[in-house]
Structure 1
Amino acid sequence: MPAHRSLVTGANRGLGLEFCRQLLARGERVVAACRQPGRAHALNQLAGDHPGRLHLLPLDVADAKSRAALVAELPLVCDGLDLLVNNAGVLHSGERFGAVPAANLDDSLHTNATGPFLLSQALAPLLADGAKVANLSSRWGSIAELEAFRTPSYAISKAAQNMASALLAHGLRERGIVVLALNPGWVQTEMGGAGAPLSATQAVASLLQVIDAATLADSGRFLDHDGQSLPW
């Protein structure tokens, strides 16, 4: 059953923006969170096209005060959540062995792993029983598939996020809440680049099919955008 009330983080561009577009097209109510809503021009235009169904809230997922403010403000615009899409993320490119900055690791872990985990934990009381939590992961977080030294701050943080997804699945299971770690594939976004094979439209349409079809038996799984299991 499709969600009716959704929260999407990192909603100002790329996959987050496309999630908002497609959820609104299905007739749903969406809360879009990003660091600077006032500068999110495409998101504000989308809000104008869907009056009363798209609300913008500020969120820096890596910041404790920002997460707390979102949790406090959410009930003012939404009476609960059927879907939480933890999409906000960061990728520090160009890292080389022997010269990986500690700041990159700290930022990546806070933004990609601990931030989404703590946000999900804080939002748990607002999640409806039977709701779904979709954590946007990456094949680069798969230890089993690792073939080379590449972007360690991203890879380490996504592997940590995968564990966070598995833990959340256990923590929320008794309420029937499904938690998924999802690989969107290589997508034409600012992060993925113009040469990627998938458009954001295609990737999000596929991901929503996987989310819609998921049952409690799938909770805690690491799935590709086509619904196939990925190795940890």
Structure 2
Amino acid sequence: MEPRHCLVTGANRGLGLEFTRQLLAGGARVVATARHPGRATALNALAGEHPGRLHVLPLDVAVARSRDELLRELPLVLGQRRLDLLLNNAGVLHGGERFGQVAEADLETSVRTNAIGPFLLVQALAGLLADGGIVANLSSEIGSIALRREFRTPSYAIGKAAQNMATVMLSQALQPRGIRVVALHPGWVRTDMGGERAPVLPAEAVAALLQVLERLGPTDSGLFLGPDGAVLPW
């Protein structure tokens, strides 16, 4: 992978941290965000190992004021450069939901964090994206309407389904600049969100998804892709 400039949200743990680690290993310069950077021990340690190539900035993607602050700070880090890759990884999942007991607040939080926030972040940062670059939204097959066969994590499923629509809308908006926007399903990954029973390790999932991104062509914008690059149904 040629050196490039990337932004990864939700980079303090799990897939976000692993994306940051592998992008750095590939020669990229990375801006990694976390809601509470001071508590992001592993991420800050990684920044110490890559001085000048990894910048850690605060971001709560669901909060307008936080997005605005990132928009003010990012040009100071990038200088005259533009982002070749914006990876919307930050998300939230409420486990243990049962029909009849799904909380309105959990639904609102999921849609705001998983769909509204990433959409508005891309809109805000559009001027800092490089023409021909990539916006990758970390989605899930749980957000696929066509694949749902059970009542499970409804707030997460609804949030990711909304995020998938946001992906398609953004792909249309950014198409004139050659910016490819895709939704990615990483598989069932062994993270805090995926749980200990998940069969796929974060390093394996991220390596597969980075290969998918490397292979993206100009006509692939607006697709929902699995870790093997196969197109998933909406």
| Fold agreement, TM-score > 0.5 | yes
Distance, in Å, in 2 between the alignment partners of 1:39 and 1:104 is 24
Distance, in Å, in 2 between the alignment partners of 1:75 and 1:231 is 37
Q: How much does 1:215 deviate?
A: 1.4
The one of 207, 216, 219 equivalent to 2:218 is 216
Which residue of structure 1 aligns with residue 42 of structure 2? 42
Which residue of structure 1 aligns with residue 12 of structure 2? 12
C-alpha contact (below 8 Å) 1:2/1:212 kept by paired residues? no
Distance, in Å, in 2 between the alignment partners of 1:195 and 1:207 is 21
Counterparts in 2 of 1:18-33, with a 5 A limit?
18-33=18-33
Which residue of structure 2 aligns with residue 93 of structure 1? 95
Distance, in Å, in 1 between the alignment partners of 2:89 and 2:2 is 18
SS at match of 1:181: strand
SS at match of 1:128: strand
Distance, in Å, in 2 between the alignment partners of 1:30 and 1:102 is 36
Query: Which amino acid in the other structure matches residue 59 of structure 2?
Result: L
Distance, in Å, in 1 between the alignment partners of 2:126 and 2:35 is 21
Query: Which amino acid in the other structure matches residue 105 of structure 2?
Result: A
Q: How much does 1:77 deviate?
A: 0.6
Q: How much does 1:6 deviate?
A: 0.1
Which residue of structure 1 aligns with residue 71 of structure 2? 71
Counterparts in 2 of 1:149-164, with a 5 A limit?
149-164=151-166
Q: How much does 1:195 deviate?
A: 1.2
Distance, in Å, in 2 between the alignment partners of 1:111 and 1:92 is 12
Q: Structure 1 residue 139 and structure 2 residue 141: aligned?
A: yes
Which residue of structure 1 aligns with residue 105 of structure 2? 103
Could you tell me which runs of 5 or more consecutive residues in structure 1 were left unpaired when the two chains were aligned: none
C-alpha contact (below 8 Å) 2:3/2:27 kept by paired residues? no
The one of 178, 181, 185 equivalent to 2:180 is 178
The one of 197, 206, 209 equivalent to 1:207 is 209
Distance, in Å, in 2 between the alignment partners of 1:2 and 1:206 is 17
Q: How much does 1:3 deviate?
A: 6.0
Q: How much does 1:80 deviate?
A: 1.6
Percentage identity across aligned positions? 66
Distance, in Å, in 2 between the alignment partners of 1:80 and 1:168 is 18
Seen in structure 2, the aligned counterparts of structure 1 residues 25 and 9 have a Cα distance that, compared at 3 Å, is same
Distance, in Å, in 1 between the alignment partners of 2:10 and 2:157 is 19
Which residue of structure 1 aligns with residue 233 of structure 2? 231
Which residue of structure 1 aligns with residue 131 of structure 2? 129
Could you tell me which runs of 5 or more consecutive residues in structure 2 were left unpaired when the two chains were aligned: none
Give the length in aligned residue pairs: 232
Q: Structure 1 residue 194 and structure 2 residue 196: aligned?
A: yes
Query: Which amino acid in the other structure matches residue 125 of structure 2?
Result: L
Which residue of structure 1 aligns with residue 55 of structure 2? 55
Distance, in Å, in 2 between the alignment partners of 1:212 and 1:59 is 26
SS at match of 1:217: coil
C-alpha contact (below 8 Å) 2:6/2:29 kept by paired residues? yes
TM-score, with structure 2 as normaliser? 0.98
